[in-house]
């Protein structure tokens, strides 16, 4: 059973989805425009296997407090750092998708946080596909154009839902309509589209070259959807080459959000990560 509760980190009130279990807690961070709900399928799989885990709404998304003015990425860094620090007794396995992938990688660079292992999934900050770069150009003015055309709102909504399904999933025909609707709920006209795209442009600029691979000391499993249309596989391959102790796993049928395409496969990878994390924890404690 997936529980839900309110929590507060770094001054932000937020919502957590959690499952009880044993071992280090698996902490899930979502991507831009997403929420903790994206991990429900994976959480259900981990609950069935007795693994402790939680997914959290990052500041500015889902049911969390809005972010503050100024640089955005450091606010997510501080939020996640406090969440992880609160679990220093058991340690954490940090898993993140897209923007969340960049945030967990940045957290893993810190020696003061009890991260046993880290799993970035289609992490932002490792490069974007050409269409994404064009969409974010000059705060996304080009991508706003379709919402300025005087077409019926219903027609625009259908077009956006199809586009989102293609961007999020490996096969848009298998997209969950409720998930797609959740992603597109905040975009209803040119003004709301502009707000979302400006925010995306800010984050896309801040995550560029935001990592220092030589500081990643804990076990790392890099996961990438083979059909990702937003973040090229080349970025994950670069990170794998830069971190000698890393492992790269490609899910050939998944898109930008493998947790939606195949939550069972992602849960299996997390369980494998847990094994590596436990071994790392034993080494840190001087065992074995």
Of 88, 94, 97, nearest to 61 by C-alpha is 97
- pLDDT value of position 105: 98
Q: Under 8 Å CB-to-CB from 6, ≥6 apart: which residues?
A: 13, 14, 15, 16
- Is residue 67 classed as helix, strand or coil in its secondary structure? coil
- pLDDT value of position 274: 86
- pLDDT value of position 74: 97
- pLDDT value of position 148: 59
- pLDDT value of position 155: 61
Cα–Cα distance, 249 to 254 (Å, whole number):
12
Each residue's pLDDT expressed in tens, for the chain with a length of 288 residues: 899 999 999 999 999 999 999 989 999 999 999 999 999 999 999 999 999 999 999 999 999 999 999 999 999 999 999 999 999 999 999 999 999 999 999 999 999 999 999 999 999 988 877 566 655 555 554 555 555 555 566 666 677 788 889 989 999 999 999 999 898 887 777 677 777 878 888 888 899 889 999 999 999 999 999 999 999 999 999 999 999 999 999 999 999 999 999 999 999 999 999 877 666 654 554 433
On the CB side of 219, CA atoms within 13 Å amount to 20
Q: In sequence order, what DSSP letters do the residues of 134-175 get, joined into one string? A: HHHTTTTHHHHHHHHS---HHHHHHHHHHHHHHHHSSSGGG-
- pLDDT value of position 123: 96
Decide: residue 178, CB within 10 A, 0-12 exposed, 13-18 middle, 19+ buried: exposed
What is the second-level CATH architecture of the domain 3-128+209-284? 3-Layer(aba) Sandwich (3.40)
What residues form DSSP beta bridges with 119? 95
Q: pTM above the 0.95 mark?
A: no
């Amino acid at each position: 059973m997936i529980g839900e509760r309110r929590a507060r980190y770094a001054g932000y009130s937020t919502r957590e989805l959690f499952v009880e279990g044993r071992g280090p807690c698996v902490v899930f961070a979502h991507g831009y425009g997403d929420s903790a709900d994206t991990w429900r399928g994976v959480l259900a799989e981990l609950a069935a296997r007795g693994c402790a885990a939680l997914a959290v709404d990052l500041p500015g998304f889902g049911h969390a407090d809005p972010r503050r003015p100024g640089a955005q990425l450091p606010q997510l860094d501080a939020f996640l750092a406090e969440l992880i620090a609160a679990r220093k007794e058991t340690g954490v396995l940090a898993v993140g998708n897209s923007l969340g992938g960049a945030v967990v990688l940045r957290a893993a660079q810190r020696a003061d946080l009890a991260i046993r292992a880290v799993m970035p999934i289609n992490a932002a900050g490792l490069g974007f596909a050409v269409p994404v770069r064009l969409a974010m150009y000059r705060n996304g003015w080009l991508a706003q154009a379709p919402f300025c055309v005087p077409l019926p709102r219903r027609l625009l909504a259908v077009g956006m839902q199809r586009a989102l399904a293609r961007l999020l999933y490996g096969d848009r025909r298998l997209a969950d309509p409720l998930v797609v609707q959740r992603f597109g709920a905040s975009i209803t006209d040119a003004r709301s589209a502009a707000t979302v795209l400006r925010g995306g442009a800010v984050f896309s600029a801040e995550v560029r070259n935001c990592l220092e691979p030589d500081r990643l000391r804990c076990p790392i499993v890099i996961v990438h959807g083979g059909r990702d249309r937003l973040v090229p596989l080349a970025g994950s391959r670069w990170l794998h080459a830069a971190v000698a102790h890393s492992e790269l796993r490609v899910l050939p049928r998944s898109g930008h959000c493998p947790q939606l395409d195949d939550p069972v496969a992602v849960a299996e990878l997390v369980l494998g990560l847990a094994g590596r994390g436990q071994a790392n924890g034993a080494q840190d404690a001087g065992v074995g």
